[in-house]
Structure 1
């Protein structure tokens, strides 16, 4: 039996990937049953862990075992969103034999590492940290209860557990040569390393960093005195922490500190790399910001029958399988909403994390025009929305509920709950058009469109994130013209809406119904172009080439 109280893999390491890497992320989407993720960051991290295993890389994952997960998205009596926090239990996680201690707000907290073995879900060995152990007091036990807890002190405590607790777990396993922070949540690990070496250069040799968002809310900040009080700096005096991070203001920016304490960093698409460099390069002491475009694990996400049919140029099987997948999605739609969608009807899906800049309701800017479009008896359209708002983002929840009320008793419009891996897969398999409407350039990557394309769903998108590296309008997707981002948001929304409806009414809908063979060519070209360019194997390889071996 493989021992997991030391660094070990169930296979020989590929000689290209022998540098030992510990990958830290606050969320991982590994399997529907393991509720340790909220959205795209977790989906990306999960695909990375799968491809690292497939490529036989010398990597482990360090994450958090959330007692209540993110949250369970359910419906109230009037169909609006209800948030449920429910305890989770996983019999496929085993105690690794490793328990470490961290200091949180001058109190010792025990952190237990549970291991997810590679053979369970096909990932590199992964260690999920929990403070829910009997030896801790009640407050300490609550640290690992909820992903993205809204309470600032809880969030800081979670960072300490992930960063310092995770670093100590890695050391108990035999140590790592590279510590990869997927976003800045694990930043306290930098101060753990600094305390060992007392040399910022030695810290930088070992740390790399991935930034995922140009959104201010995604670049976490806290009062530096609160961080110091909580133990974020691992006992390093505040003035020394200020000196080594160059952070002298009251508010401490995690992303900026990570950029100063890493040897190299990256944005998650070529466009996001440019945006990130514009955002951060004016700050003294930041490391180089490269661009490694996000990707998704093909064996996990791509339907095998569709893949084989594409390779064999078997159009009949490709079309038949797509119809089967639409029916599978529509069974779930019927179960949730009582609406029976039809597989022969063009089906548009908007599904992702609800956030204001993603504009979930852009399609409804002119409600009369929208309902006129979807109700055309000659060219009918079905529309599905799905996605989890952050439960404490009242604006996002309000938008979700607005869509629910709008869709009530409308036969060809549905809003689904429970946007996790299983529903995500069904939506990507069963949609004809994958709609993506962020305000450019605020979508760092947008990987959901990649897995949609793998399954015969045609992207219809703003030119943001990964899309400019992929898109060929009318050939493998449909794209909106670029709008002047200096215009007020309201004006950008007006222009994007008009372009979106024009393309839908004049190009997408007529092509689907009047030129089915042309539509099929777009579907097939999309599938050909997305693999292998946006396969996580490519991404995992580039991280070794451009970051770990840098």
Structure 2
């Protein structure tokens, strides 16, 4: 048998005993396509609503915890059974493929159906439908119960897999299995962030352990630090797509190596170097052990650059010259860079490379200098350093940024790799990010659009079809928007109740958690990683002006903040602390709140429930940003600087934009300029528009003037900024040309 046939399946001993009529529940729970199956969440919730909340919407934990008597009861409920059958029908459509694919690649052997409706990719590129595209990323955000993500990069990668599944793109994801998660955030009474492990229990997730020859728990190995490091793997099913998560926490490994895959972005540079070798080198070797032969390779950020170096090494081992090996790897490789911030690009010394992973790359061939040279940066005076992004760019035929502005910025940053070219001629393009519509648009908004948009609106970027959003009546949209805000406030109160007994020692935390907030005021949301350039504290530059806005008895305003600072980013933690201090200030009357431990569950509540989304990065340091796209899909306009996606997404009537400061302005002058324009927009445009309500005696209080940009926000985001559009762009302009071997 091949290694593929010795996997632990979703129908293994972990499966709870289910009534025969409900035997498909376990299969449904163990395929993450349930997260965008419109029938599945309602189905699982109906089994046991309180338990569904306590398990934080985790169907595997629900089924392993709920009592047998309750399952027997719902198995006899005709309403539940209709929902169950409908959810299984949707799941079958979500995984069905109209042709055979290799087990373990995109699609699964038991889901093949000759009569299945061809997918978008099948119809357009039938010659390449059985050639997998390997998609490498250091983090993936797919569900709250699998905390192997830190923020935007992981959410983007998760949405990429979901959209690829829907479109039938034969994608195979490769990442790392962080058994201790990223971290669990709690704030002390002084607002300082404490970081604790957020452990992952595989038995409460849809993770499937893969096994190698003779049932051993590892599939490949690398050498580093004088030892061999064995690498295991887990599989997650995401509809038609499989995600393989690599793991070194095996008894066969030295204790020092078992922790390499424990936590996302943990440890110092040596630790990161070895993690990235496991991801890149180990990922290539694990795919080979599984019999998966990708036709194209996509590195999502520089963390995965060793995937390319390993492929060069393997070709040289097989007799290819260095130049020929590089050319062959480049021809089939796509690289996406996600940040212009220097701290986001990993750099390792040659000494570190030799000590920790040197044996991996030259245990069979002696070409050390050629391989190390792939990571040299011509602008770095120290020529004994390996730049992961430089190596990735050198080894990729197709390179892109993640917005039009970021493409321009990236061409300027990396033009040194093309000595004879001006910045405008550097071959770095862009694919603007998008978000998975079925994941991020609330069921309430989607249900409303079902009534007013033509059939098929969920699967198209046709601007004429999306233009029908303008026909949605203001009262109907306002009722949905009010319902979503009330749900957000309930979420915040529930989170406060959950944290108060175990984490908070004084009642002052409760006000800061949003328990005093009302559904009536204009509510502004700001949620993202607390990095200094994202300027979460910009609105606090003028305390008196802010106080006047928040405490206006006729037109009050509320602010909700959320997000984590990187555990080693003390400057970011100080920004968070300054924001948190304002939540405890009684002068603000409880109108500023901080929602702790921001993750996917809280993100849904915020992007759906606030009235206005705020994004204030210092231009041009935000490569794209996607939180505003998620908010827009729910009828929440954005007020932001002219950075990332908003530079191209702002249409004049779907939100507000802060104009660029003069190019000669200092950083302090830029902050002052942006703060002034922020307050001016709030005072003169945003707040008056929100409170422009019908007069006394009107049948409803829907602010028609405010709902015009809300509709346009939905229209523009739905037509231009979904993950479906993004993955179609990658498939058409990057994957298929790589599969064809185009120059």
TM-score bracket for this pair, using the shorter chain length: over 0.9
CA offsets 1:334-363 (integer angstroms, 9 cap, x no match)? 343342311121000111011011000000
Give the equivalent residue in structure 1 for 2:185. Answer: 73
Give the equivalent residue in structure 1 for 2:310. Answer: 192
Query: Which one of the candidate residues 529, 542, 567 is aligned to 1:353?
Result: 529
Q: Is the 8 A contact 2:148 2:178 kept in 1?
A: yes
CA distance in 2, matches of 1:351, 1:430: 13
Give the equivalent residue in structure 2 for 1:433. Answer: 612
Query: Which one of the candidate residues 100, 103, 122 is aligned to 2:223?
Result: 103
CA offsets 1:501-538 (integer angstroms, 9 cap, x no match)? 00000000000002521101110111011103111011
Instruction: Note closer, same or farther for the CA distance 1:277–1:109 as it changes in structure 2 (3 Å cut).
Output: same
Give the equivalent residue in structure 1 for 2:649. Answer: 470
CA distance in 2, matches of 1:86, 1:31: 14
CA offsets 1:25-54 (integer angstroms, 9 cap, x no match)? 000000011111001000100000000001
Query: Which one of the candidate residues 272, 296, 320 is aligned to 1:178?
Result: 296
Deviation at 1:307, TM superposition (A): 2.7
CA distance in 2, matches of 1:319, 1:86: 38
Of structures 1 and 2, the one with the larger relative CO (CA 8 A, separation 6+) is: 1
TM (normalized to structure 1)? Answer: 0.95
Q: Which has the higher strand share?
A: 1
Query: Which one of the candidate residues 266, 272, 292 is aligned to 1:155?
Result: 272
Q: Is the 8 A contact 1:51 1:123 kept in 2?
A: no
Q: Which moved more, 1:136-145 or 1:172-181?
A: 172-181
3-state SS of paired residue (1:125): strand
Give the equivalent residue in structure 1 for 2:592. Answer: 413
CA distance in 1, matches of 2:416, 2:187: 46
CA distance in 2, matches of 1:388, 1:126: 26
Q: Is the 8 A contact 1:348 1:433 kept in 2?
A: yes
Deviation at 1:251, TM superposition (A): 2.4
Give the equivalent residue in structure 1 for 2:675. Answer: 497
Q: Is the 8 A contact 1:6 1:172 kept in 2?
A: no
Deviation at 1:96, TM superposition (A): 2.0
Which consecutive unaligned segments of at least 5 residues does structure 1 have? none
CA distance in 2, matches of 1:79, 1:279: 36
Give the equivalent residue in structure 1 for 2:82. Answer: none
Deviation at 1:314, TM superposition (A): 4.1
3-state SS of paired residue (2:720): coil
3-state SS of paired residue (1:439): coil
CA distance in 2, matches of 1:486, 1:430: 39
Q: Is the 8 A contact 2:350 2:385 kept in 1?
A: yes
Q: Is the 8 A contact 1:200 1:244 kept in 2?
A: no
Deviation at 1:100, TM superposition (A): 1.0
Give the equivalent residue in structure 1 for 2:233. Answer: 113
Give the equivalent residue in structure 1 for 2:328. Answer: 202
3-state SS of paired residue (2:417): coil
3-state SS of paired residue (2:145): coil
Which consecutive unaligned segments of at least 5 residues does structure 2 have? 8-102, 113-118, 213-218, 317-324, 453-471, 497-509, 694-702, 738-743
Whose radius of gyration is greater, 1 or 2?
2
Give the equivalent residue in structure 1 for 2:429. Answer: 290
| Alignment of 1:266 onto 2:400 | yes
Give the equivalent residue in structure 2 for 1:328. Answer: 487
Give the equivalent residue in structure 2 for 1:540. Answer: 727
Give the equivalent residue in structure 1 for 2:244. Answer: 127
| Alignment of 1:366 onto 2:505 | no
CA distance in 2, matches of 1:108, 1:415: 45
Q: How many residues are paired up?
A: 545
Over aligned residues, Cα RMSD in angstroms?
1.9
CA distance in 1, matches of 2:603, 2:210: 31
Q: Is the 8 A contact 1:95 1:113 kept in 2?
A: yes
Q: Which has the higher helix share?
A: 2
| Alignment of 1:461 onto 2:640 | yes
Give the equivalent residue in structure 2 for 1:306. Answer: 445
Deviation at 1:238, TM superposition (A): 2.9
Give the equivalent residue in structure 1 for 2:572. Answer: 396
CA distance in 2, matches of 1:363, 1:123: 44
